[in-house]
Structures are given as structure tokens and as C-alpha cells.
A and B are shown apart, each in its own frame.
Chain A
Amino acid sequence: MNVTTPSKLEKILKSGQYAVTSECGPPRNGNPEAVAKKAELLKGYVDAINITDNQTAVVRQCSLASCIKLKLLGFEPVLQMVTRDRNRIAIQSDLLGATSFGINNVLCLTGDHQRFGDHPNSANVFDLDSTKLIQAVKLMRDDGKLLGGFEMHEHRPQMFIGAAENPFADPFEIRVLRLAKKVAAGAQFIQTQCIYNMDKFKLWMKQVRDAGLHEKVAIMAGLTPMKNVGMAKYMKNRVPGIDVPEDIIKRLQGVPKEKQAEEGIAILLEQIEELKQEEGIRGFHIMAIEWEEKVPEIVQKAGLYPRPAVD
């Protein structure tokens, strides 16, 4: 696979080494330091940092501004973009703005429905869906065209294109087809939904390999450490599309409360070891929600430290 952009994440993935990414959620106010502070905790331990885009439809500092901030501080940001809040005009405009700051990674998402968030009465946009967003970025980058047909003769976006995939959503049979569609649209890397049901994930990966998709797209396994049994139950019952098997809950219940966080990390480290045996897994996306300080420990204990240097 040839490198197509200046993205550091792309270079590491294409060098054949495991890539490690993490994410930072911006604050619900205008704090100028919050994202940078979270990113500092990850410095040197991850290759790129996703900045979420009003995740769970809760208003936060914008992903683009936070990405610019990180870029100026020398980090490698991944601009998450949902199609819920912006039409194709605003989306392309933001992509051009990101380009002007040398942001080279984008994660194309449709986004959680606004009814989940703090403005359930708002209108949604969904002019495009995630697949169409992938196509739009590719068109801008490879053909130098906007969706409206305008041709850019210089300063095209140089984005390494990512997408999410949830192996645990239904109908399960359609999940690999859906991935194939995103790959056909132009997705180059995938960050999966957080994995807890390893059997189901492996079944999905087998189908991915059977379809030859693991050779066309770099699949990064999404992982979120459980802080305690309450979080595990919440994710099982309240978060759509997350599959938390009963044995994870039982395992966390089996240790005293003050040891549950440690157990959550232990589970995650076992998962990484297991996933390293899985052909087609090219990296790990560690989403330590409001728990960024644990990422260095996880990366070190998982044998993923130091991070590779690329030009």
C-alpha cells in the first residue's frame, strides 16, 4: 500500500507496525487549555489523537478548533466529523479549513442522533451520511474537486480517510457488506466500536478476511477500559450498539470496588494480547473516556511503547 498523504498515522500503518491512537473529548465550555492538557497526558504514547465532534450530540468545543490547537502544539490530530450537524457546504468548508492548518486525518461519521444529547429539540441535517462523507473527502483529495464540481488547482486536502465500524450492531450479516461499501467509497483506516464481545468480534474479523477487506483497509481495534461495574452496566444497557457480555460484568463484580479500575485495565490488556493474534488487526484505538491518564500505562504494559518514529 502506497502512502497517499503526509499523515503520520498513515505512514505508521503502512510501515506494518501497530498504530496506536486515542481520543480526547473537548470541554463543554470555551476553556483554551482543556484539550491540550488531555493531549499532554498522551504525548509520546500514541501516534494520533482523535478529537470527537459533539459526541453523543452534546454541545462541546468544536472538533476543528481543538484539532488546530493540537496541531499547533505538534500533535497529530484526527478530525472527527459527523454529518448530523452540517450540510455538505459546511463540511467541505471545515475540511478546507483543516487543510489550511495541515490536518491530515479525518474520521467520517454519521453521528449519534440529536435526541440523545443536550439539545433534543434541535433539527438535524444528515445531508450526507458517513459513506458519502468518505466519498466527498476522497473526491476533494484525489480529484481536487468539491461535490459541486468546482476544481481546486492547488491546496487540495491531504487527508488520510478513516471511518468507524460497529461489528456489534445489527443486522450482523450486513456489517461486512457495509464495511466493504465504506472501503469502496475510500476509507483507508477503520476504528471499530469498543470491543467487549471478543467472540463476535473474531467472527466479524473472519468475515472481513474472507472478503479480503483486511488488505484494503487498516483495521484498528477500538477499546475502552471499564472504570467500574457501574460503567459496564451503563454501557450494556444504555449505549446503543455496545455489546458488553455478562462475563465482563461478572468479572468486575467479582473484585472489590477499589480494585475494579485495575481489573478493567487488566481486561483491556488481555484483549490487546488476544487481538495481536488476529490477522488483519493493524492497530489499537484506545478510547479512555475522561481517563486519558491511564493510556500511557496501557500502552507500556501492552508492549506498544515506545512508539515508532516516522519521517
Chain B
Amino acid sequence: MIMAKPKPIEEIIRYIENLDKVLIAGCNGCVAVCEAGGLKEVEVLASALRMYFLQKGKKVEVDEVSLTRQCDKEYLEEIKDRIGNYSGVVSLACGAGVQFMAEMYDEKPIFPGVNTSFIGVTEDQGKWSERCQACGECVLAETGGICPIARCSKRMLNGPCGGSEKGKCELSVVFNKDVPCGWHLIYERLKKLGQLERFAQPAAEKDWTVSRDGGPREIIREDVRP
């Protein structure tokens, strides 16, 4: 799932303080799960903004909506009839949702309300962490189901660097908290699976063309095209 973090409200205020009517548009997909941009967060943000503008004596009207998803046209179309009423929209969707809304309503300023952070998991309530960097060529079969691209801070493909200590990444010193060494996890898992031999051969060169380095990516599947 795509994880995001709410932007500081001061930043959102800067975007919209000179507008007269603003729509806060949530997304009930990923960002709702990570409690950054769903229905609940829309309500909280809209109330806070209303309170702020009231206190400042500014006339900025703030409305709310939450769409099923913002990365699908059919859901974005749900606001087709009312978007004309607003001078701007703050989208609490991930960066993809914000852009897709801007593409559909290309005369309307659409502002991001969250910082899209990573593809990850909910480890615990209020704790989300990265698992995948969408590098385009999954190596998990070779690495015991643990990704060296996402979980090694140097995205090494041939084992841990020299900075790994007691299972912790060298960055633990910088962050002042324990960051697990991705390769330590891979090693332990391969050992458990009885697949340590996978480690012995140097990995093939990584082809980054299928990652972000290859330019904007798309998937076209003729088998499911209309």
C-alpha cells in the first residue's frame, strides 16, 4: 500500500489562504489506511482550516468530500458537477491521485495535502514502514522474500556492507534508533529456508530501465484492454 504523511497545516494554509472557496478531497484508498488522507482526515483538516480562517477573519469557505479512490477516472468524475464552485482543491490522495485529478480538471489548481512517502505496510497502529521501491524487476525469490533494494540503505545486491552491526544498519547511528540491516534479515531468512547457497553467486547486474531510471513507466496489457 502507498503510505503518506499529512503535510503541516501551515503549508496547506499558504496554498489556499487567498482563495475564497476550497474543497478538501480525501481518498478512501491507501491514504485512508495510513490515516493521512481518508474521510476522517478530511474532516479533521477541514475543521482546523475553518477555525484558522475564522480566527484570522479571512473568508475562505472550506468544503469536504472523500472519494472511493482518486487514481480512477470513474471516482474522480463524482465531483464533476461541483468542482466548478471551487477556486481550488486540496487533495489528500497520494501524488498519483493529485496528478490524476489535475489532469481531469485541468483548469483548477489542485494542491497536495499529504507527502507521499513509500510503498509499505502497517507494522503496528501508527507505525508504517517501507517494503518496496517498485524497481520493476522483483528479486524477492532470490533473497528470501526480503527486498535488498528497499531494505538495504545502499540497495546492495550482493550482501551486507561493512557497516552492519548486531543486525543493525550503519544508519542506526545517524538516526539514533535501530534500523534493521536488510541483508542481515535476508541472511537469517535464507538460513531458515535452507537456501544459503543463493548467497554464494554474485547477483546479475541490476537493470534500472524498469525502475524510475528508465523514465516514466507504464503498463499496457492487451489482454485486459477494452
Contact = CB atoms under 8 A, between A and B. Distances in A.
Interface of A: 84, 110-113, 115-116, 120, 124, 126-132, 135, 147, 164-166, 169-171, 173-174, 177-178, 180-181, 184-185, 193, 238, 240-241
A184 B199 CA distance: 12
B135 to A, nearest CB: 12
B137 interface: no
Contact of B161 (A115, A169, A180, A181): A169
Main secondary structure, interface of B, reads loop
A178 B173 contact: no
Interface in B190-226: 196, 199-203, 205-206, 208
Contact of B202 (A113, A124, A135): A135
Given A171-B160, A178-B160, A241-B164, A131 B202 contact: yes
Given A129-B156, A132-B157, A174 B173 contact: no
Nearest to B156: A129
A110 B148 CA distance: 14
Contacts of B157: 129, 131-132
B149 to A, nearest CB: 9
Given A132-B158, A169-B160, A184 B171 contact: no
A181 B203 CA distance: 10
Given A132-B157, A240-B170, A240-B173, A164 B162 contact: yes
A177 B202 contact: no
Interface stretch (B8-16, B68-76, B83-91, B180-188): B180-188
Nearest to A186: B202
Interface in B118-174: 153-167, 170-171, 173-174
Contacts of A131: 157-159, 202-203
A112 B162 CA distance: 9
Closest 7 CB pairs of A and B: A166-B162, A240-B170, A240-B163, A131-B158, A129-B156, A241-B162, A178-B159
B164 A181 contact: no
Contact of B184 (A127, A130, A170): A170
B170 A181 contact: no
A128 B205 contact: yes
15 contacts: A113-B163, A113-B171, A126-B155, A129-B158, A171-B160, A174-B199, A177-B199, A177-B200, A180-B200, A181-B158, A184-B200, A184-B202, A240-B163, A241-B162, A241-B163
A147 B205 contact: yes
B159 A238 contact: no
B154 A181 contact: no
Given A112-B170, A238-B173, A132 B162 contact: no
Given A128-B205, A170-B184, A84 B162 contact: no
A193 B159 contact: no
A106 to B, nearest CB: 17
A178 B156 CA distance: 12
B185 to A, nearest CB: 10
Given A126-B155, A129-B158, A132-B158, A241 B205 contact: no
Given A132-B157, A241-B164, A171 B205 contact: no
Nearest to A180: B200
Nearest to A174: B187
B173 A177 contact: no
A170 B161 contact: no
Contacts of B173: 116, 238, 240
A205 to B, nearest CB: 17
Contacts of A178: 158-160
A171 B184 contact: yes
A174 B158 contact: no
Given A171-B184, A171-B187, A240-B163, A115 B174 contact: yes
B181 A132 contact: no
B202 A181 contact: yes
Contacts of A135: 202
Contacts of B155: 126, 129
A132 B155 CA distance: 12
Nearest to B190: A174
B202 A193 contact: no
